[in-house]
Chain A
Amino acid sequence: MTNFVAMLADPNMRWIFTGCLLLGLSCGVIGSFSYLRKQSLAGDTLAHAALPGICIAFMLTGVKSIGVFLAGAAVSGLIATFGIGYITRHSRLKQDAALGIVLSSFFGLGIVLLTFIQHGNYGNQSGLDKFLFGQAAAMVGSDVTAMSAVCLVLVAVCILLFKQFKLISFDPGFAKGLGYPTALLEQLLMLLVVVAVVAGVQAVGVVLIAALLITPAVSARYWTNRLGVMVALSGAFGALSGGLGTWVSSSVSNLPTGPVTVLAAAALFGVSLLLGPQRGLIAKRLVRLRAKRRLRLEGEVREAERVKGEAAL
């Protein structure tokens, strides 16, 4: 606990801690919509697909700034979304194969570009590979401000369009019938995922940011049946894991932030899996026991009535 206080005493670490909290919050909020739309793995694919975009953006501009990367990743994310849709609609491959194909070919291209950059004479390229796994402690003030601002915008968009996102998560056909631009809203949701991925790349890394989009949402689903509560809980779980990840990785040397954050989220998921009030394993076991006992009692009552009936005859 003392090093937690020590961490917060350092102003730079305080900023990073806040940034990671906000990142977890926004990823959790967006993740719950993609979970309900059964598109959890699309987040994983878009995260991998962001890599070539980031590399090309770096090759074109030569600067490592979140704005440039955001543009690059958004473009390659959009191409990836289009690719997934095209393969599922125009071939007999199913969505999972389409996701896998797009994920690995984009990531392969990204690795090619990354090594191309490393072997070529691009100045200032050192540390670009840190983007793959994230090292929150290495972020500087401007990075953290940019990341926090992006995260706040994401959460704000989700709050503003809550009704619309709710509708396309549960009943896209009905949303279309009401006259909402569903295709646009679905693209927007994908775009928000891409933005969240890019915002989190420096802190968590390309490979593991998907976990922040998936795990808090799944955990939150165990506690409630109401979307509003679920989104809030998912955001809280995400923020908690982000905070824990930063704290632990800053106190142990040589530990990247991303994996610790993911493990924190996984631990929260384990707790939810066990203790969730209606869907948790313990609650389900209790319900089953109660049903069994009631069945036995009813059986006894029926048996007693039968005996009584026979006696009356």
Chain B
Amino acid sequence: MSDFWILLTASLVSVCCGIVGVFLVLRKMAMIGDAISHSVMPGIVIAFLLSGSRDSLLMMFAALVFGLIATFLIGLLQQTGVQADASIGVVFTSLFAVGVILVSLFARQVHLDQDAILYGEIAFVHWNVWEWNGIDMGPKAVWLLGVTAAVIAAVIGLFYKQFKLCAFDPALAAAIGIPTALFHYLLMGLVSMATVSSFESVGAILVVGMLIIPASTAYLLTDRLGVMIGLSVASGIAASLLGYGAAVVLDASIAGCIVTASGLLFVAALLFSPLHGVIARKLRQRKLAADHRAPASP
């Protein structure tokens, strides 16, 4: 049974991260995803100190606030003339440092393990169950992730057209009256939600792998946005299955194995993708060269 719950949790993480990750990759904001996943750390710790539990709405809210603060600060620094990459680096390292300091100062009073935040405890999800009226309703993490996945799917589904336009042509989107800034912050809010509901399972650092790698894999396989979202989720789930299997065999970190597996899937897509793969492109070039040469030689 525990295998089932772990795999279900990992798959839900793939769904949450896979959907929002696509938009991060398309908008060339992959490193902002990295920054947000580090920056929610102080929010998680503060909410934990206030509420004393790991799966509260307060935690979700605090993480959301810190994710948006990070996005806002990065934008502010860019406006004052700091290079984009450097402003990301300054903001997320500082917020992350605040989080680590809070954990190490208060780690004794509360049951909040630094390792658990950073690398996740997906192996233990099935122990932390939600009981409602004395009935075992299944692991809390699964419920939390399920709700997050539903919210993300609903928001993206409702505003699919707007998100699509903002991702591919923000100037046109602004020109026809779509509030691009609002959708930017909405997307960042969704990224923060995906990050915080996944952090318990895969950890604050490896979330970024789940956000970026499956979406990049999908980006190499298709030219259609809808298909890309589906492929991104599918490759995340495939990586979860492969990674969990590898982790059981090797007796190593499950989250680490899942991210490594999705890295391997990415390498496979990079080499063998029929559309944009390295090998396919080589073959096409060779064919083109052959076609070019053929009429010239009688």
- A→B interface (CB under 8 Å): 35, 38-41, 43-44, 48, 87, 90-94, 96-97, 99-101, 103-105, 107-116, 119, 129, 132-133, 207-208, 210-211, 214-215, 217-218, 221, 254-256, 258-260, 262-263, 266, 269, 273, 279, 281, 284
B97 touches A262 (CB 8 A): yes
Given contacts A105-B263, A108-B209, contact A96 B220 (CB under 8 A): no
Contact B25 A97 (CB under 8 A): yes
A165 to B33, CA, bound (A): 31
Please indicate which of the listed interface residues B82, B256, B263 has the most CB atoms of chain A within 10 Å of its own CB.
B256
In angstroms, Cα B86 to Cα A217, docked, is 9
Contact for A100 among B31, B104, B250, B278, CB less than 8 A: B31
Contact B90 A218 (CB under 8 A): yes
Nearest Cβ distance between residue A20 and chain B, in whole angstroms?
Answer: 15
Q: Which of B2-10, B178-186, B188-196, B211-219 contacts A (4 or more CB under 8 A)?
A: B211-219
Closest to A269 in B: B90
Query: How far apart are the CA atoms of A208 and B85 in the complex, in Å?
Result: 16
A-B pairs with beta carbons under 8 A, tally? 194
Contact partner of A91 among B28, B98, B213, B270, CB < 8 A? Answer: B270
Q: Smallest CB-CB separation from B281: which chain A residue?
A: A90
From residue 64 to 98 of chain B, which have CB atoms closer than 8 A to chain A?
A: 77, 80-83, 85-90, 93-94, 96-98
Query: How many positions in chain B have a CB within 8 Å of any CB in the partner chain?
Result: 61
Q: Which residues of B contact A254 (CB under 8 A)?
A: 104-105, 107-108
Q: What's the Cα separation between A279 and B82 when bound, in Å?
A: 10
Sampled A-B contacts (29; CB under 8 Å): A38-B83, A38-B85, A41-B85, A91-B220, A92-B219, A96-B85, A97-B25, A100-B34, A101-B30, A104-B208, A104-B263, A105-B259, A105-B263, A107-B206, A108-B257, A109-B256, A112-B253, A112-B260, A114-B253, A114-B256, A119-B251, A133-B100, A207-B96, A215-B94, A258-B97, A259-B97, A260-B101, A262-B97, A263-B98
Which residues of the partner chain A approach B54 to less than 8 Å between Cβ atoms? none
Query: Which B residue sits closest to A107, measured CB to CB?
Result: B205
Contact of A111 among B29, B96, B255, B281 (CB under 8 A): B255
Closest to B257 in A: A112
In the assembled complex, B262 has its CB within 8 A of some CB on chain A:
yes
> Bound complex: CA of A156 vs CA of B254, how far in Å?
43
Taking a contact as CB atoms under 8 Å apart, the answer to whether A40 and B85 are in contact is yes
Q: Give the distance to chain B from A283, nearest Cβ to Cβ, in Å.
A: 11
Tell me, yes or no, whether B199 is within 8 Å of chain A by CB: no
Q: Which of B205-261 contact A (CB under 8 A)?
A: 205-206, 208-209, 211-213, 216, 219-220, 247, 250-253, 255-260
Which residues of chain B are near A97, meaning CB under 8 Å?
25, 28, 30, 212, 216, 219
- The answer on a CB contact under 8 Å between A105 and B213 is yes
Separation in Å of the A58 CB from the closest CB of chain B?
15
Beyond A111-B206, A255-B101, whether A92 also contacts B276 by CB under 8 A is yes
Please determine whether A208 and B96 come into contact, CB atoms closer than 8 angstroms. yes
Report chain A residues within 8 Å CB of B266. Answer: 101, 105
* B48 at interface by CB-CB < 8 Å: no
Instruction: Give Cα A237 to B35, complex, Å.
Output: 23
**CB-defined contacts of A91 to chain B, threshold 8 Å:** 220, 270, 276, 278
Cα-based distance from A255 to B260 in the complex (angstroms): 31
- Residue ID in chain B nearest A48 by CB atoms: B205
Report the separation of the CA atoms of residues A284 and B261 in the bound assembly, to the nearest whole angstrom: 49
- Pair B34/A103 contact, Cβ less than 8 Å: yes
Q: Does B119 contact A (CB under 8 A)?
A: yes
Q: Which of chain A's residues have a CB closer than 8 A to the CB of B98?
A: 259, 263
Closest 10 CB pairs of A and B: A105-B263, A108-B259, A104-B209, A111-B256, A211-B93, A259-B97, A214-B89, A262-B97, A112-B256, A266-B94
For A263, give its contact among B97, B253, B259 (CB under 8 Å).
Answer: B97
Known: A104-B206, A218-B86. A259 touches B101 (CB 8 A): yes
Task: List B contacts of A41 (CB < 8 A).
Answer: 31, 85, 88-89
B82 — which chain A residues lie within 8 A by C-beta? 218, 221
Contact call B104/A255, Cβ cutoff below 8 A: yes
Q: CB distance B29 to A35 under 8 Å?
A: no
A107 to B213, CA, bound (A): 13
Once the chains are docked, how many angstroms separate the CA of A40 from the CA of B89?
A: 7
In angstroms, Cα B97 to Cα A266, docked, is 10
State the CA gap A277–B216 with chains docked (Å).
Answer: 42
Within 8 A of A (CB), among B149-168: none
Q: Shortest beta-carbon distance, B100 to chain A, in Å?
A: 4
Q: Are B259 and A208 in contact (CB under 8 A)?
A: no
Q: Which residues of B sit under 8 angstroms from A279, Cβ to Cβ?
A: 80-81
Residues of A within 8 A of B93 (CB): 44, 208, 210-211, 214-215, 262, 266
Q: A261 CB to closest chain B CB, in angstroms?
A: 8
- Taking a contact as CB atoms closer than 8 A, the residue among B83, B100, B247, B259 that contacts A104 in the complex is B259
Taken together as a complex, chains A and B put the C-alpha atoms of A167 and B25 apart, in Å, by 32
B-chain residues with CB within 8 Å of residue A133 when the two chains form the complex: 100, 114
A92: nearest chain-B partner, CB-CB: B276
Inter-chain pairs besides A93-B216, A108-B260, A218-B87, 18 sampled, C-beta below 8 Å: A40-B89, A44-B34, A90-B281, A91-B276, A93-B219, A96-B28, A99-B31, A108-B258, A112-B253, A115-B253, A115-B256, A116-B250, A133-B114, A215-B94, A254-B108, A259-B96, A259-B101, A263-B97
Interfacial chain B residues near A214, Cβ < 8 Å = 86, 89-90, 93
Q: Which of B90, B96, B100, B108 contacts A215 (CB 8 A)?
A: B90
Contacting residues, chain B, for A218 (C-beta < 8 A): 82, 86-87, 89-90
Which residues on the A side are within 8 Å of B119 (C-beta)? 111
